[in-house]
Structure formats: structure tokens, C-alpha cells
Amino acid sequence: MATSHLIKILDSHTGGEPTRLVLEGGPDLGPGPLSERVKGFKEKHDRFRAAVVGEPRGSEAVVGALLVEPHEKGCQFGVIFFNNVGYLGMCGHGIIGAVVSLAHLGRLKPGPVKLDTPVGPIAVTLQASGEVSFENVPSYRKHQNLELYLPGVGDVMCDLAWGGNWFCLIENHDQTLERSNVAQLTDYCARIRQAVSDSGFPEVDHVELFGPSQKPGANSKNFVFCPGKAYDRSPCGTGTSAKLACLAADGKLEPGAEWVQESIVGSVFRAKYRKQGDKIIPTITGTAHVTAEATLILQPNDPFGWGLH
């Protein structure tokens, strides 16, 4: 009789945004750089991604993190991030969630640790307080003041920047950044993403809107629209990195100065940067909490065992 496929996971959330760390039962992607292994994941094992994060077990908000052997020297763990529609080069809230989960399992202690990812090694510090800081990949602004035309809205100015993922960042818009307005924000950002793609930048798959924050100590509030129409409940580690790259390029934030980014649900990341040539190296700090330790069961006779297709 065919047996069920079992996958061991540890769930956490970082500022409200879920991470599902896959500990056992994932695909064997072999050795080599993680940038290569993620291609094998996509080509040969994509149904695994759908089974772990997609319905009926997951939701569009869940980001999966497959724990793998690292390739880069000096890294203790490797991690490949994925979501309801594909794969992420880097994921800031996911790094924080993975580190807090590994600490929960007793697999690391407070102090420095390095995680290998498809876009390069990430140096992380787990503080004794439970807070996690990580140095992101070199981040930079690629385009300033790109003009988009939105039917029914008119011209919208945006910046395009890299922070481990590609972002379209918008400061001047007529949207209300409130959680009660998520449906409208989602619709607006989907139209922006289409307009950015039509302008010749199909690689830009995240949209980030900024506005003032009412939270004491916070510099700004954001709404981050992710590939696949989910929104980031956290302030988004890669999105905050892209924001710092724009602030640095505009001379609005000095190296070492703190930027506090609030998310649409009210969680915060603290951020700062140092310069590296014409790019910046952001440091992002946040917290995560574990929420579940479980075994996913994929029964051979379940028509939706590998997800809804």
C-alpha cells in the first residue's frame, strides 16, 4: 500500500508575516550553489512548493523556507525561500523567522551565524533578547522618478530599487495606508505592477507604498504588495533595504542613522546602512515568534495532497 509523504515543519511569524521552515521531508536538491539548486527546485520539485505553502494547508501569505546544506564557506545553514507563486532570492522576515525557529529547536545560540541564500550569504546576529539583526545583500536604486500612467488615476512617479528582491517604491499617491483598506491597496498595487512591467521592467515584482506613521518613533508606514497578490504583514526586510537605498541616494539618511519602518499591521523593523562603493549594505532588526511545530501529511489518495492546482 502506498504510504503518505511526511514533511516536518516549524511555523513562526515575523511582525505578523508567516514563515514555514521545512526541516525534513523536502526535495533533495543535491550540492552546489543555492542559486543553482533553486533552479532544480523550480524545474523538478515545484509541486512540493505548492504542497507546503499553498491551499489547503497554507495560504497566500505563507512564505516557505527550505533548510538545506550551505554551499558558501563560513555559512552554518542554507535556506531557499518560496511562496504561493514561486521563489524569492532573499526574504528578510523569513531570515528572522528561520533564525528564531532554529534557536527554538536548540540548533543555534545567541551570537553571530551565517545563512547561505540564492542571492548570497547573509550575516545574522541573534541577540540574547531574542531580537535578530541581519546584514542584507548590497542594495541600490536603479531608477529614480520613473513616470507611470495609470488609467483613471493619471501619472504616478516611482523609484525602482533592489534590496534582495526588486521593488517599485511610491511616496506620492492618493491611497490610505490602513489595514481596513487592504483590498483597495491590493488593486492599486496590482495595476502599478502591470504598468511597471509594461514600461520594460517585468523583473520588478514587489510594489511598496509609503506614508506617514502615527507610531511613536517610527519614520514611515508602508504597504508591501508581493508576487502573487499577497501583502506583507511585516515591514518587509528586502523592501526596507530598497527604501534605505533610495534614502541614501537622495541624501536623506546618513550611514549609521536609524530608520524605523512600520508595516500595514503596525509591526516595526529598525534599519540602518553602511556604504559599499555605490551601493549600501543594510542592517535590518526585528523579532519573530514560533507558532507551531507540525508534520504535514500528504496522503497518496488525496486529490489535493500536493495543493490546489
Task: Supply the residues annotated as catalytic.
Answer: 91, 236
> Taking the complex as a whole, how short is the minimal distance between the CB of residue 285 and ligand PYC, in angstroms?
13
* Nearest partner of 283 among 66, 70, 96, judged by Cα: 96
Give the residue ranges of DSSP H helices in 45-179: 46-53, 92-104
> Taking the complex as a whole, how short is the minimal distance between the CB of residue 172 and ligand PYC, in angstroms?
23
Q: Which residue has the cell 535578530?
A: 132
Give the residue ranges of DSSP H helices in the chain: 34-44, 46-53, 92-104, 182-198, 237-249
Q: Give the angle 221-222-225 at the CA atoms, nearest 5°.
A: 165
Positions that interact with ligand PYC (CB under 6 A): 17, 63, 88, 91-93, 165, 226, 232, 234, 236-238
Which is closer to ligand PYC, CB of 93 or CB of 298? Answer: 93
Sequence-distant (6+) residues with CB within 8 A of 46 are: none
Residue 88's φ and ψ, nearest 5 degrees, are -115, 135
Query: Residues 239, 134, 288, 7: what is their CA dihedral angle, to the nearest 10 degrees?
Result: 90
Which is closer to ligand PYC, CB of 247 or CB of 271? Answer: 271
Q: Three-class SS of residue 10?
A: strand
> Taking the complex as a whole, how short is the minimal distance between the CB of residue 154 and ligand PYC, in angstroms?
29
Q: Three-class SS of residue 17?
A: strand
Which is closer to ligand PYC, CB of 141 or CB of 298? Answer: 141
> Taking the complex as a whole, how short is the minimal distance between the CB of residue 147 and ligand PYC, in angstroms?
26
* Nearest partner of 217 among 269, 172, 272, judged by Cα: 269
Which is closer to ligand PYC, CB of 29 or CB of 88? Answer: 88
Which is closer to ligand PYC, CB of 133 or CB of 234? Answer: 234
> Taking the complex as a whole, how short is the minimal distance between the CB of residue 283 and ligand PYC, in angstroms?
14
